[in-house]
Amino acid sequence: MRPFGELEADIMRVVWARGEPLSIQQITDALNEQRPLAYTTVMTVTERLRGKGWLERAKQGRSYRYSPLRSADDYTAELMEQVLESSTDRASALLRFAGRLDASEAAALRAALDDMTPDPGTDR
């Protein structure tokens, strides 16, 4: 998976934040609060995100509404997995990452690890 480009990331942030299906016009209006973008540019990039499996669309009236197929947490986890895969020492990279967490993040990670049941089909 390739990381999102700048506009892709901006579009996904809008869609994730709203929590409801959005039209291209609604996405464009939200993005234009930060910088001017053409409707057609937003439409093209939104359709590319749909093609990549990040968004789905449903017809509503004369336009489409877009919703996320995957969460922001899924995206972040995939990026983290890619970074770990590129490491020559995965365990060391994980330890360095864990060492940078604040106390509440470390507690959340510890609790999540405690709740995990080992998958007998993997060595992780």
Rounded to whole angstroms, the Cα distance separating 120 from 11 reads 39
The DSSP bridge pattern shows strands 55-60 and 63-68 to be antiparallel
Q: What share of the chain is helix, strand, coil (3-state, %, to 5)?
A: 60, 10, 30
Q: List the domain range (segments joined by +) for residue 95.
A: 72-115
Residues 6+ apart with CB under 8 A from 37: 7, 28, 31
- 63 and 78 within one domain: no
Residue 35 lies in a domain: yes
Residue 12 lies in a domain: yes
* pTM for the whole structure: 0.80
- 50 and 22 within one domain: yes
pLDDT for 10 equals 98
Confidence check: pLDDT of 2 > 90: no
The owner of tokens 């995990």 is 116
pLDDT in tens, 55-66: 999 999 999 999
Residue 124 lies in a domain: no
CATH of the domain at 27: 1.10.10.10
User: For the chain, how many structural domains are there in total?
Assistant: 2
In angstroms, what is the C-alpha Rg of the chain?
18
